[in-house]
Amino acid sequence: MHKRALGNSGLEVSALGLGCMGLSFGYGPATDTPEALRLIRRAFERGITFFDTAEAYGPYRNEELLGEALAPIRDQVVIATKFGFEFDGQGGQSGMNSRPEHIRAVAEAALQRLRTDRIDLFYQHRVDPAVPIEDVAGTVKQLIQEGKVKHFGLSEAGARTIRRAHAVQPVAALQSEYSLWWREPEAEILPTLEALGIGFVPFSPLGKGFLTGAISENTTFDRTDFRNSVPRFTPEARKENQTLVDVLGDLAARKQVTRAQIALAWLLARKPWIVPIPGTTKPHRLEENVGAADVALSAEEQRDIEGAVSRIPVRGERYSAQQQARIDR
């Protein structure tokens, strides 16, 4: 797989990364450890060198899994993890915390769980309104100077916050949701990133699985699957949003690829500094996603996709009201 540079940071990664959250958290029961280890190592064998995790995924279990899987090849991969939450005794999130002393504590713990001496990309998971972003950026800057962190990242941050942070410590990458059915970043975020030379790492590039065509209005999610709380995933919304999936299917059939490959190839064609991180627990889906890196879209095909998709309204918010409240504007 070819490589991409995340903006002007000097951080080079595979054109597609692997979002590892779903192996431990968020989409139902955790994948059995041996199976998860095999999938992560298979991703590396297929050319993926960029692996995304967070202390919140579990919490902690996902970092431990990634540390075990990548220990033998640590110097050949880029590991991204995140800070910014507190957790209660039952493993749930109990609030945000990006105070400098907490960032340092999270970094030290993550290094242990990841079995490494440095974190390649350390994201603030969500912007903490109680802590000035300058203090956050300054703390990560110190960790970089100490060699414990290589690059600083933000997640779901607004343009103003990005600029303030970048003035203290250059931001290597922003990680936020972006896909054919969530295009809000195009208005303000992408121009800001381009102006500052910051890379973009879209999470949920396949619409949390919906754009693959594997989910219908009749799909039942496990009770622990967070999509149960997402307005866009109510049965009624899924029924109406099926139109977008059908259109993607037509476009994919014309190109002789899959819906997922069209969706990922479209993101890759947007900017050379965009690196999507689709996640999966299934080896065949991993192979399908990797194949998207070889799907080239002509300018005409990109216009066809744009034209077809832009005419289709999407029903439902991407987050619940509580989750939306955590998004920086």
Task: Please give the pLDDT value at position 218.
Answer: 97
What is the average pLDDT score of the chain? Answer: 97
What is the rounded CA–CA span in Å between residue 63 and residue 175? 18
pLDDT of residue 28: 95
Contact 200, 273 (CB under 8 A): yes
Quote the pTM value: 0.98
Please count the helices (runs of H) and the strands (runs of E) in the chain. Answer: 11, 11
Tokens 């999130």 belong to residue: 93
From 78, 95, 278, select the one nearest 177 (Cα to Cα).
278
Instruction: Give the separation between CA 265 and CA 313, rounded to whole angstroms.
Output: 22
Q: How far apart are CA 210 and CA 160, in angstroms?
A: 31
pLDDT of residue 327: 87
Provide CB contacts within 8 A for 313, sequence distance 6+: none
For residue 45, which of 8, 22, 72 has the smallest C-alpha distance? 72
Q: What is the pLDDT at residue 269? A: 98
Average pLDDT over residues 262-287: 98
Q: Which amino acid is at 232?
A: R
- What confidence tier does 329 reach under pLDDT thresholds 50, 70, 90? confident
Q: 3-class secondary structure for 122-168? A: EEECCCCCCCCHHHHHHHHHHHHHCCCEEEEEEECCCHHHHHHHHHH
Residue tagged active-site, from 27, 57, 60, 178: 57
pLDDT score at 91 = 74
Per DSSP, the three-state class of 214 is coil
Q: Say if residue 120's pLDDT is above 80.
A: yes
CATH classification (class only), 3-324: alpha beta
47 dihedral zone (left: phi>0; alpha: psi -120 to 50; beta): left
Confidence of residue 93 (pLDDT cuts 50, 70, 90): confident
Confidence of residue 116 (pLDDT cuts 50, 70, 90): very high
Q: pLDDT by residue (tens digit) across 34-78?
A: 999 999 999 999 999 999 999 999 999 999 999 999 999 999 999
Place of tokens 């109510």: 234
57 in active site: yes
Which amino acid is located at 135 in the chain? D
pLDDT tens figures, 170-190? 999 999 999 999 999 999 999
